[in-house]
Structure 1
């Protein structure tokens, strides 16, 4: 394989990204940076001599100037050719022209008045001038910020595009070279820099775009973070131009709206309305071969002159045709943004660019892709408005209609010109169909043009949007916020905590655990719950409930006796459920009507294991039965020797009828010799007739089931506990 040819004095291969010039003597090519020839100077050289040939043949020969009104200044000045835009003669004639005053079309406002809501109400069809920046949301460096500061923040090696104003042609050079040119007192040429986008540099931190541009921007609102296409950066430009810099009439790419702020210096704008007639004239003028020889302001009815001094901000709406003259050295900041208010005009400008075959460098990056993203989001917006029975404003209906037409055209064009700017996560035909449905619904329900953008309509629209956003934020906060434990969650949490204490060693009071739960649930108290809690011992788990919900709990232990007791006071539809548990107390369990009173107790073993601790806790669910002696002893301690009161009712029923907790549920000391025996419930010893279970006991009534059979997924305490700890009948150990 042959080696690549080498060029220049540096003997490097050809690099397409670097400017090179050919020597007319030796025919070798040289990098402009190696031989100190800048690209914009190369057009002035008639015969170039490289450094080697310069020694023999002398210096390079420069072109001779023959005129001051043509882009090619070597043409003879015979007076037959008209003046071309940008030349020194053209600038003088332009300054002597008379124009309609910009005050006829300009809207002068304070910064705090320029808001998206104001523009939605009153439209954005005329330029806005802001002299009081307060409230505009625009952040800029101090007026003392210089071009050298730009070089420091951006970097002198950054390659930029500059415009040679006299030739209306662009060339590339390093930013450091442009700064040297700008700071010289003698400037043989007029160079203008208008395309320095600095969003990816350190200078971006010094500038914040106006709030209205930020909030309305399609790129900021609709461009997804996971897009296959790179995100367009068009909102932060630094414009540095010397005196007599001129940019001929144009429409900003994609019909974008523009914001300009003059940091220091002065600019003069020549503005033309984007009427259908003016747009047609502009397209014909742009495609004509003698475009630079015809001043477009003379072809329209009115061209308005607007002077923008230092410290003034100008906002230009979609589609406005404008030219710019720098009357004195100037630094300005600006940016472009697409929005919902003038979708139709934006699409028309884009199609005009396509017909004029505008190079991609001067077009909005991925304009079609962002239109697909916008269509997807507007579809969701229309659906939300339909759900709220709120008609969309007229500008949105007309914009969506224009967008549907453009999307259909682009899909048809994909067959012959596959540019494929359709995002992968979008179904184009389905999206167009759904948008068409929504527009048809609006036309049938609210008329052909939707609803006029009246103040009341927009206020309802804003209120609906705010309500949806508030509901969305609330749902997100609820998902992110820690979920409050349910009754069964608290019991399980307490059980796990007890087992953990038994497994690791002596019981110790966990102040952090108690404080955490106590702080969440200690909000409401009732007299009945407080009265019940006062009668409990200090080493209890105290739960206070109202309407079936635990509103307060407390958990303490007695370190001296190594006891752990829990008393659960539950209320379900007026039914009382009381559970007492102590490692030094033993009792049985019993059912009374639809009330449950069960107490699980066991001696704390000398060296407790997890299995033994679990068995003691599982008796709460009725999975273990106490021995006969233990049951009789519990009945004796609870005063069950005389179960009938004076009316013939059991003492427990009398308490239940009063809606109070039965005294049978209180914990009492038991003999430490009493032991538990594992047994199947079907093999339990016969109980007293008043204590036996009913043949088919009715389901326990609670707040969730309302007396009916529990629905699927609504487990009882026993079922939930059974899921956690499954019975191993062979090994007599729960795992």
Structure 2
């Protein structure tokens, strides 16, 4: 493998982060720092000679200046080319121009009054000036803090972006070189430093941003600590400019609001309001080929002049178009922040930057990522407003609407530009947009209920402020719910519901249709047949009952009328739906679900039997009819076997009658001391010769072999098996039904 080529007098490989210059004689490349050539000086060299060629060919040749009003000063000055922004001629003309005073639009306030509540109530639409630091929460070094002190705290090797004002071009240089230039009494150029962010340096401890910027900042409130993207640092900038430094008209990246404080010196701001017309003009001007030749202030109706002297702080809202002139050597501190008050304008400025193809260096870092984080938090805020039955402020509702539109457009762009989308990993974008849209739709429609409005101003938008401000609203909502529960009609108990339901079922059993298909042994048997057919009809037409029982996890939780049946059943069964899903595998219900279903059936039968006993019904026959009907409705009986089962119940009835005529002391033994194999001890127990057959419905799946009890082989002649032996591993009807009926307490 060939070795990497080496360059410069230091004989090192190429480093993209370091400035290099080519020798016009030997065609070799040299690091600017190794040959003492600064990047901003390189543009002034016409023919460069490296140190080796300098000995033989003499020093480098410099460009000849032909004009003072053009960025390329080598152009011939024929008087026909217009003046370009930033040049010495331009700055001189700008100082002599007159502009409307910014007093028409500025809001001068005391620092104690610049609060989040004030801005949320009154809005943040016009610049605010604060003549003193008191009350702002802003901490800064003393006015004696110098450029050399900046070098000491930040470090002389720090690479800073420097603007060559006369050419309006960017270059990089070490901070110590700029400090040397700053204190040079003969400055060959006008250089300006406006993007030295020092949050990661020792100087960060000397500066505390204003309280208003901290409380409203998206980054401070919504950026998670575990984010995949690095946290944007845009809140602490040090601006160092010499006299006549000029920055042309611009909007701060991402439509951020900005705070400036002039530590010493003076700056002049030229402010233009971000109206729809002015923004359209600004975008057209920014994309024009002769942008530097046209003063944008001449294209709008009004361009205001605002002088910011030493010790003054100015807050500029979202989207304001402004240019800055340093009228004397100056050091200022400032910072940018996104907030909830002007979300729509911030998004519009960001989209404008994309259309203008603004370099990433001059864009808000990870702007789209912070918007996703904000959307997630605003969803929680809107849900809290809805739960508290309170209307959020208009600026928040409008901002979330604009945010939803932007998020949708960014997802669409992902198809053509997948690398440009900044969606955090733990956020489900489509789900988040859907939920936000749902909340906004609820607010617009009102959910069919009147919404309470904010008292005494707009609602706070950050999480901590929202918790504090909504405490009283939460307490009022809880008090209202308590009053509603206190005055609501008394809910009937489970026992009362069971009693009423049992009476209605028994009534249906008595008046049900009777169609005797075959002659039976006696009138008593006909009566039982009538009751059984009626119970089967009750199962078929159960949805027509006036009173219905709603069960959840084996417990009767509500009795409802048929009018509200569908709605209440869906709510009552919701806790049971999730377990049911776990019991279904590949379309087949597992044994666990089978057992849960029969647990519900057993629970219902046991509760109904207890209710019947409490009512002291006249005869055991009525009890047996009720139990028979309950089992039929539970799907435990097959209609085609009712005739055989009724005969067995009649025999049990005769046995109970004989027991009741005996001694009272032996009654308990007759019911409880006999073994399960003795048929008469259990009114519903099936003996070995029983012809009862279990009928499985579509909701009764087969048990898994590992969950089934040991099979008991019935005789071949048993009618229940129709002359065939049961399949291997499958429980018989007797075993299943017998196990269930053992759980039912005996009737007394």
- Could you tell me whether the CA contact under 8 Å between 2:197 and 2:234 is conserved in 1? yes
Task: Identify unmatched segments of 5+ residues in structure 2.
Answer: 475-748
Query: Measured at CA, do residues 46 and 450 of structure 1 come closer, stay the same or move farther in structure 2, by a change above 3 Å?
Result: farther
CA offset digits 1:16-70 (Å, max 9, x no partner): 1111111111111111111111110000000011111111111110000000000
Q: For 1:195-206, list aligned pairs within 5 A.
A: 195-206=195-206
Contact in 1 for aligned 2:340/2:461 (Cα 8 Å): no
Relative distance call for 1:117 and 1:39 in structure 2 (3 A) is same
SS class of match (1:399): helix
User: SS where residue 455 of structure 1 aligns?
Assistant: coil
Q: Which moved more, 1:421-430 or 1:332-341?
A: 421-430
CA shift in 2, pair 1:15/1:287, >3 Å = same
Q: Is the 8 A contact 1:121 1:454 kept in 2?
A: no
Greater displacement, 154-163 / 451-460 = 451-460
Aligned residue for 1:262?
262
SS at match of 2:21: strand
How much does 1:420 deviate? 3.1
Deviation at 1:463, TM superposition (A): 8.9
SS at match of 2:17: coil
Q: What corresponds to 1:445 in structure 2? A: 446
What CA distance in whole angstroms lies between the structure 2 residues aligned with 1:253 and 1:425?
26
Against the structure 1 CA distance between its residues 463 and 427, is the aligned structure 2 distance closer, same or farther, given a 3 Å change threshold? closer
**Corresponding residue number in structure 2 for 1:240:** 240
Alignment of structure 1 residues 613-692 onto 2, 5 Å: none
Counterpart for residue 101 of structure 2: 101
How far apart are 1:132 and its partner, in Å? 2.1
Change (3 A) 1:99 1:194: same
Partner of 2:436: 435
Native 8 Å contact 2:389 2:452 kept in 1: no
Residues 1:312 and 2:317 aligned together: no
Equivalent-residue separation in structure 2 for 1:2 and 1:260 (angstroms): 53
Q: Which residue of 2 aligns with 1:508?
A: none
* Separation in structure 2 between the aligned mates of residue 450 and residue 63 of structure 1, nearest angstrom: 72
CA distance in 2: counterparts of 1:30 and 1:448, whole angstroms: 74
Report the equivalent of 1:636.
Answer: none
Q: Give distance in 2, aligned partners of 1:271 and 1:17.
A: 36
| Correspondence for 1:191 | 191
1:212 aligns to what SS in structure 2?
helix
Q: How does 1:502-651 map to 2 (within 5 A)?
A: none
Q: Which residue of 2 aligns with 1:26?
A: 26
Distance (whole Å) between structure 1 residues aligned to residue 60 and residue 453 of structure 2: 69
CA 1:397–1:447 in structure 2 vs 1: closer, same or farther (change >3 Å)? farther
Residues 217 and 448 (structure 1 numbering): CA distance in 2 closer, same or farther, change over 3 Å?
farther
Contact kept in structure 2, 1:163 and 1:169, CA below 8 Å: yes
Taking the aligned partners of 1:34 and 1:226, their CA distance within structure 2 comes to 41
Partner of 1:627: none
1:394 paired with 2:394, answer: yes
Match of residue 289 from structure 2: 289
Give the TM-score normalised by the residue count of structure 1: 0.63
How many angstroms apart in 1 are the aligned matches of 2:243 and 2:126? 28
- Contact 1:271/1:323 (<8 A) preserved: yes
Would you say 1:137 and 2:137 are equivalent positions?
yes
Counterparts in 2 of 1:428 and 1:15: CA distance versus 1, 3 Å: same
- Counterpart for residue 125 of structure 1: 125
What is the rounded CA distance, in whole Å, between the counterparts of 2:141 and 2:182 in structure 1? 19
Shift of 1:455: 2.7
CA–CA distance in structure 1, aligned partners of residues 451 and 280 of structure 2: 29
1:265-288 deviation line (CA, Å, top 9, x unaligned): 000000000000000000000000
Contact 2:368 2:421 in 1 (8 A): no
Distance 1:178 1:463, change over 3 A: closer
Matched, 1:329 2:326: no
Query: Counterparts of 2:260 and 2:453 in 1: how far apart (Å)?
Result: 31
- What is the distance in 1 between the residues matched to 2:469 and 2:135? 25
| Residue pair 1:263, 1:311 contacting (<8 A) in 2 also | yes
Contact 1:393 1:450 in 2 (8 A): no
Q: Offset of 1:95 from its aligned partner?
A: 0.4
- Unpaired runs of at least 5, structure 1: 473-735
Q: Does 1:15 align with 2:15?
A: yes
Query: 1:154 is matched with which residue?
Result: 154
Q: Deviations over 1:163-210 (max 9, x none)?
A: 000000000100000000001111010000000000000000000000
1:403 paired residue number: 403
Q: May I ask how many residue pairs the two structures share in their alignment?
A: 472
| Secondary structure of 1:285 counterpart | helix
Q: Determine if the alignment matches structure 1 residue 455 to structure 2 residue 439.
A: no
Check conservation: 1:395, 1:453, Cα contact below 8 A. no
SS for the counterpart of 2:425 is coil
Whether the 8 Å contact between 2:68 and 2:87 is mirrored in structure 1 is yes
Following superposition, the deviation at residue 465 of structure 1 comes to 2.9
- The answer to whether the Cα contact below 8 Å between 1:45 and 1:61 also exists between their aligned partners in 2 is yes
User: In 1, distance between residues paired with 2:433 and 2:27?
Assistant: 59
| Conserved? CA contact 2:120–2:460, under 8 Å | no
1:74-132 per-residue CA deviation (whole Å, 9 max, x = no partner) reads: 00100010000000000000001110100000000011100111000000000000012
Q: 1:325 to 1:405 in 2, by over 3 A?
A: same
Aligned to 2:498: none
In 1, the alpha carbon distance for the partners of 2:213 and 2:461 equals 23
Contact 1:394 1:453 in 2 (8 A): no
* Shift in Å, 1:10: 1.0
User: CA 1:444 to 1:280, structure 2 compared with 1: closer, same or farther past 3 Å?
Assistant: same
Conserved 8 A contact 1:106-1:126: yes
Q: State the distance in 2 between where 1:456 and 1:75 align.
A: 60
Which residue of structure 2 lines up, in the alignment, with residue 466 of structure 1? 468
Deviations, residues 661-709 of structure 1 (Å, cap 9, x unaligned):
xxxxxxxxxxxxxxxxxxxxxxxxxxxxxxxxxxxxxxxxxxxxxxxxx
Q: 1:467 to 1:64 in 2, by over 3 A?
A: closer
Spell out structure 1 runs of 4+ moving beyond 2 A. 446-465, 467-472
State the 1:3 CA deviation. 1.2
The structure with the largest strand share of the pair is: 1
Q: Which residue of 1 aligns with 2:414?
A: 414
Contact 1:390–1:460, Cα closer than 8 Å, also in 2 = no
Which residue of structure 2 aligns with residue 367 of structure 1? Answer: 367
- Give the RMSD, CA atoms, in angstroms: 2.2
